[in-house]
Amino acid sequence: MSMRLAGKTALVTGSTSNIGRAIAEAFAAEGAHVVVSGRSAERGAEVVEGIRARGGRADFVRADLDGSAAASHDLAAEATRVLGGRVDVLVNNAGIYPADTTPATDEKTFDRVYAVNVKAPFFLTGAVAPAMAEAGAGAIINLSSWIVRLGIPVGALYSSTKGAVEALTRAWAAEFGPQGVRVNAISPGAVLPSDAEVAEIGGAMMKGTPAGGMGTPEAIASAAVYLAADESSFVHGIVLDVDGGRTGVAVVAA
């Protein structure tokens, strides 16, 4: 094992399942001390136990990132305490995805999705980044989505929040980069979920791509390790597509 994150600490939001869990596990496998965070203490304990069983370091901090500044600030403070006084890597992964059409979206849903997907990472980054800047080093990784740039007929609200996240990624890279804090984003393609019906739809969306099918949470986690590690020290303000070629390439059969 290369241990590319040895000696680093990391906070991964929404890391009790799927992509977030894979990122937390990958970070721990590379030597980082990871705070696993989410709403379910039961699922969080399962992730932490698995990491520890494989020799990694992890702790669970429960958080319901509802968009309030208080919730984000509380998570930042507790994660910093658990990690021994510093957070070297922040992954803003937590998010919600209602696959509604625009006419079917009510105001309550609109406000909740923006609160979780935009306000929560905004205030969490605001709470964590200054200490990174003071230390002269740090990495922030935001999770976006391929449907920001390739529109689909449902989920307009969700895709708009991820567009905001990409804009914040570039703005934060300019704001914090000069102090040594690298801010980048990952844009996953259709990734295998636990829901068979969703997997069928995602598989159809990946037809005609170089990959030819859906990706895995582990593929996204590998990209996150790269952006968190020192080898990406010259990478600032990018959105890294990990989408099987969905947004950039069309494969035309002969």
What positions carry a catalytic annotation?
158
Chain-centre distance of CA 235, in angstroms? 17
CA distance 35 to 38: 10
Cβ contacts of 237 within 8 Å, gap of 6 or more: 169, 170, 173, 174, 177, 183, 184
Q: Look up residue 143 and give its two tokens.
A: 């999770």
CA distance 79 to 166: 25
Q: Are strands 89-92 and 9-12 parallel, antiparallel or unpaired?
A: parallel
Q: Is 246 helix (H, G, I), strand (E, B) or coil?
A: coil
CA distance 87 to 131: 8
Q: Look up residue 105 and give its two tokens.
A: 């979206």
